[in-house]
Structure 1
């Protein structure tokens, strides 16, 4: 009797499985993202050295998105293959002012009997808040006071304080330690840490440490209290180095029309929910003054949330217009804005003013592979995000390397596509239905081949 080995049956099954996998592989590959899955397509023009390219994503393109997170954005090559990509948001860059700024300093005295206590002072300030005179509270006779520390007037520096540079008389050498405290009202003090300066001389050599690092925060006044008051030096100079936050890079929309909910209350509907940073109202009528309250919400089913209140105006002074027409938003994802205008200021005119909004500038970096030309596709309410972290997409990324990447630009301005409130099914997607039907038939065929192989091997045993 001719008996087939069980091993041979397993080999036949394996061959059938491999054959089935080869059959289904091209079909499964078609289940990836396809250009036709997206509502908007815009050709890209690339320049510079690849294979990575950077695209400054204009707001006009983002308005075609169907997801506020921009999960529905892809770059395709000429063969319809999706390219690996990363998304980055613009960050404000701190601008360091390298020039130290001289500030006023005032001595802080205590009684010799209470040399470690917090100094109590009385001050005289100018109308701008600048210190004119600082005197200890109470009467101290000559010889009873002890120098406890120094008070620095930093009110003229409206920026984060990063470095303190001190100089003192040459009589005091060695290490000088002190605490650093900050205040805006001379009543409540916050501790900023410890500082140390030093001056050491040996033979003809002089070693100095005059710079103290600060935490990079704003303060109108600094107080330096020496750890050992008996050795507190007499200052001859106090300077500060500050950094100023750079301007947040923003992308602005064109003006959109609104509607009147009731007199003095205007509502605007955005094409898509976006994380808004600022908004601007077009005030066309001269000498307009409008106290306003701004509200926002994600959609028409959510309650209104108060965002801010302020004063908008366009006033003519000395032949020139002075305009305040912008308000800040916290960056939350919203799709509707409402403005309530206090009519006691005269309102904003008879027509509904147009509104412009801004989001943080977004940059797309993609790795070009396959045949050009490349195109940007956007607009799909259900697709999942495919963005990689930028450090993963560009191994060994450095600021210099990022700046040296090639650039990509939209060849044409993307046409705005109105976003429906909810996805609307327009009919069966026969292409996808056919694809899944072929996949199911392929699985059935694979199972039929496996069963047939098993029966054949059993009958020959």
Structure 2
């Protein structure tokens, strides 16, 4: 009897693993024993449940590993604006104290046209520094990028002063740039942090007795810190399941809490007012989701593109895009669509032999995820970034297409069933009404 049970277990093991419709290998980097994995959206679409309760991490022996799931951390974002600025030499005597005296000529807009040293006859003058004209860049100044002659090796230290009128100067932090070379190696440091305040002019004075190097370029950078945006996982482009003039439908394998959608716009000038609607599998009525304006237009010599619409986590399985024909439409080709959800991270504890794999697609299992604090004793959020990394293939398109086709077929049959029930009900009511109409008046009274 025991031998029979062992044989049965060996034969049943492959079938138990085959219960998961999708299984992909994982690649590992860094030191374990814990690894974190950003789950590609293609794998989430191949799962049987949107909350990934059927996800499992397996080792080479087919054993399930302990794991936890967490939403991806919000990513800090910033907007950088850069501009090249004009620079003018500042000359003075080598052993002079303070800043060189200068005469300036400005245009009516305040930009510098000419900067010349005042001749004081106290000795030979050398290049002491540079005056930068930032009057046309009305932004907070966060970075200064300098490029200078390669002849100046080593560290270059200088003071930074700011002014709005070239008369009154305020001291900022000192700066340092460097060109270092050894054998075939070269190290360059050409960026200096600034205070983040506004200023029309900057004065860079090299610390005596060193002469300032010859500048080749100077750029100022302004950095705007944007609100933290949640990390998103994007799908591959999805073709519509049905199209007609000005209307396109997509069917997802399962209902997903979408954060954004991205519509592929054709080349050339595009202006398309659109509306989005959704409905659940088997439902008859569409529910309005969002509206927006998609465009690809030229502006100031550049192309401006707006191809995304925010949905803020609305659960969607079937999606309909309607295009207002007054904007000219989206061309003759049906557009593809990409969808995005909050990124999901899986943290697992490695055990047993490699290769490890990720499995999804089992409708009958429950979640086996542990709390992150249980999986990693003494866990702190900042520790997550120090864990080893695992990666999975980005695309499993055949599985997703099959799942989407199955979902479309199931939804169609549900809708057919609903229509059949409605029509049967209408027919029954019609039959009852017809029967009442044919019944002779007073036939229900006994003589």
Q: Specify the alignment match of 1:72 in structure 2.
A: 54
2:24 is aligned with 1:42: yes
- Structure 1 consecutive aligned stretches of length 4 or more whose deviation exceeds 6 Å: 30-33, 94-97
Matched, 1:85 2:96: no
User: Could you tell me which residue of structure 1 aligns to residue 289 of structure 2?
Assistant: 307
Aligned pair in 2 of structure 1 residues 256, 423: CA closer, same or farther (>3 Å)?
closer
1:419-434 matched pairs, under 5 angstroms = 419=403, 420-421=406-407
Match for residue 379 of structure 2? 397
The runs of 5 or more residues in structure 1 that have no matched partner are 1-18, 98-155, 158-241, 425-461
Query: Aligned match of 1:266 in 242, 248, 251?
Result: 248
Question: Contact 2:40–2:394 at 8 Å: present in 1 too?
Answer: no
Shift of 1:94: 6.4
Aligned pairs for 1:162-201 within 5 A: none
Q: Which residue is 2:265 aligned to?
A: 283
Provide the C-alpha distance between the structure 2 equivalents of 1:84 and 1:62, rounded to a whole number of angstroms.
19
- The Cα shift of 1:92 comes to 2.0
- What secondary structure is seen at the aligned counterpart in 1 of 2:36? strand
Structure-2 change in CA distance of 1:405 and 1:37 (3 Å): same
Gap regions ≥5 residues in structure 2: 80-138, 141-223, 411-447
Cα deviation for residue 31 of structure 1 reads 9.3
Q: Superposition RMSD on alpha carbons, in Å?
A: 3.4
DSSP-derived class of the 2:248 partner: strand
- Following superposition, the deviation at residue 319 of structure 1 comes to 4.1
- Any residues of structure 2 matched to 1:165-244 within 5 Å, and which? 244=226
Figure out how many residues of one structure are paired with residues of the other and give that number: 260
Structure 1 422/345 Cα, relative in aligned 2: closer, same or farther at 3 Å? closer
Aligned-pair CA distance for 1:93: 5.2
- Distance in 2 separating the partners of 1:351 and 1:258: 11
Equivalence for 1:334: 316
Alpha carbons of structure 1 residues 373 and 269: separation in structure 2 relative to 1, 3 Å: same
Kept in 1: contact 2:25–2:356 (CA 8 A): yes
Give yes or no for the alignment of 1:60 onto 2:42: yes
1:296 is paired with a residue of what secondary structure? strand
Q: Which string of whole-angstrom CA distances, capped at 9 and with x for unpartnered residues, describes residues 134-181 of structure 1?
A: xxxxxxxxxxxxxxxxxxxxxx99xxxxxxxxxxxxxxxxxxxxxxxx
Cα deviation code 1:106-126 (max 9, x no counterpart): xxxxxxxxxxxxxxxxxxxxx
Distance 1:412 1:357, change over 3 A: closer
Alignment check: 8 A CA contact 1:64 1:416 kept? no
Distance 1:48 1:372 in 2: 14
Cα offset, 1:253, TM superposition = 1.3
1:249 is displaced (CA, Å) by: 1.1
The whole-number CA distance in structure 2 between the counterparts of 1:411 and 1:312 is 31
Deviations 1:217-273 (A, max 9, x none): xxxxxxxxxxxxxxxxxxxxxxxxx98521221111121111555421211112332
Shift of the 251–381 alpha-carbon distance from structure 1 to 2, 3 Å rule, reads same
Alpha-carbon distance change, 344 to 53 in structure 1, aligned in 2, over 3 angstroms: same
Aligned to 1:293: 275
**CA-CA distance at 1:302 after TM superposition:** 5.4
Q: 1:399 to 1:40 in 2, by over 3 A?
A: same
TM-score, L = length of structure 1: 0.51
Measured in 1, the distance between the counterparts of 2:349 and 2:331 equals: 51
Aligned pairs for 1:309-328 (under 5 A) are 309-328=291-310
- Look up the match of 2:389: 407
- Asked if the contact 1:84–1:367 (Cα under 8 Å) also holds between the matched residues in 2, the reply is yes
Q: 1:301-351: per-residue Cα shift (whole Å, max 9, x none)?
A: 253221111111112234432211110012122111111111111111122
Check conservation: 1:260, 1:352, Cα contact below 8 A: no
Q: 1:449 is matched with which residue?
A: none
Q: Deviations over 1:267-293 (max 9, x none)?
A: 111233221110011111422211111
Note the alpha carbon deviations across 1:37-66, whole angstroms, 9 max, x for none: 101111112232222111111122222112
